[in-house]
Amino acid sequence: MAIAESDLFGGTCVNVGCIPKKLFSYAAHFREDFEIARGFGWNVGTNEAEPRFDWATLLANKDREIARLNGVYENVLKKAGVEIIRGRATLLGPHEIEINGKKHTAKHILVATGSWPTIPQIPGREHAITSNEAFHLERLPRRALVVGGGYIAVEFASIFNGLGVQTTLAYRGASLLRGFDKELGAHLAEEMAQKGVSILLNANPSRIDQQSSGLKVSFESQAGGEFDLVMFATGRKPNTANLGLEKAGVKLAADGAVIVDKYSASSVDSIHAIGDVTNRINLTPVATAEAMWLAKTLFRGEPTAIDHDNVPTAVFANPNVATVGLPEEKARERFGALDIYKTSFRALKLTMTGKKERSFMKLVVDRASQRVVGAHMIGPDAGEIIQGVAIAVKLGATKAQFDATIGIHPTAAEEFVTLREKAAP
């Protein structure tokens, strides 16, 4: 067993994804936490001075933690007896690869090269950055434009805003978080705007010009603006270029993704692919699960198909978003008649402060079977709460079973088992 790696271990998630992003998200929340603390009698800072934030300290501590994780992953591989080959691998055939000019053969070859962020082909695109570079900025900008409406865009807009940057989020669509329940996108936009993020919908940048005072961004159908930093979070492309996949006979989709079946097998029997490079569900835990299912198929004699149903996910914007199961729109397409339960409320923690943020929760229920087929939330610790709810949804729990579960009071999570009134059609 061997692994070829030309960069740092851990992939996107550990190095320029989930882990550093969550650390940045924690940092961005502290400003509000300090404000909330005052409502509970705490005076934060020396002589009640405003707390100060130091970007360089956050970067250094983040880099130290990522380096630690890189070492952890490498040691796990070594202890498992995996041969580590430093270098970029290219395929020469169904059973042969080349690394640093040396050829290697294997019965099975697994492609797990992930994806890479892209920037639209507009004039001045060289002045913009992606999420990759955002983790290594020498200094925070005074004014930032984040382009995109997906989870990476809203997360970084929240991070910049929370760290004191004048932040604008521009999205070419009419609502944020395409593919999620539509109400989540609408509620998130309202909450982010209240926290100070300027949100431009139906806004598509057409060019970027470098000026002495900053970056001038022009939009296709509305007035532009000037910023110190422009970050695109408008999509990622599977990392398949120059890997020799086509030469080996592997079929690729139009976007470069490896086309695989339910067992993660490509068009070549000996070559499999998992994770973002297949562009199925691009989440780290999903890639890990795909690897486990593939290991059972190839090495345990237990053919195990992928299971992408009811995968929970979280968006670490401010406020957090989390979801499992089907959005209302897709549930109606699949089941027809639905019962919808939802609530919006101000969290107990905020009642002694001037904060107006409202949490939002929603259950989507198939009317015929009364199974809960979707659970959605916006609010503090949404990911932590939905992880538990996901077990019930995965097991096919009914609304009556949710209702029969005793809530923990006072918590936000108890709302999921105390929703009784159906929402108006």
**In DSSP terms, which residues pair with 345 in a beta bridge?**
359
User: How many CA atoms, within 13 angstroms, populate the side-chain half-sphere of residue 137?
Assistant: 22
CATH number for the domain formed by residue range(s) 2-114+237-299:
3.50.50.60
Model pLDDT, residue 50: 73
On the question of a common fold for 125-234 and 319-417, the answer reads no
- Judged against a pLDDT cut of 90, whether residue 420 lies above it is answered with yes
pLDDT in tens, 402-413: 999 999 999 999
| Residue 45 region by backbone torsions, left for phi larger than 0, else alpha for psi between -120 and 50, else beta | left
**Which residues does the annotation mark as catalytic?**
409
Share of the chain above pLDDT 90, in %: 96
Q: How confident is the model at residue 157 (pLDDT cuts 50, 70, 90)?
A: very high
What's the CATH superfamily of 319-417?
Answer: FAD/NAD-linked reductase, C-terminal dimerisation domain (3.30.390.30)
CA distance 279 to 260: 10
Model pLDDT, residue 195: 97
Model pLDDT, residue 223: 87
148-159: average pLDDT:
98
CA distance 412 to 382: 9
CA distance 331 to 364: 8
Q: How confident is the model at residue 424 (pLDDT cuts 50, 70, 90)?
A: confident
What burial letters (b/e) apply to 286-323, b meaning 16+ CB within 10 Å? bbebbbebbeebbeeeeebebeeebbbbbbbbbbbbbb
pLDDT in tens, 34-93: 999 989 998 876 555 678 899 999 999 999 999 999 999 999 999 999 999 999 999 999
Where do we find the tokens 């009364």? 370
Q: How confident is the model at residue 425 (pLDDT cuts 50, 70, 90)?
A: confident
Model pLDDT, residue 45: 64
Domain ranges of the chain: 2-114+237-299, 125-234, 319-417
Q: pTM for this structure?
A: 0.96
Q: Which fold has domain 125-234?
A: FAD/NAD(P)-binding domain (3.50.50)
Model pLDDT, residue 47: 59
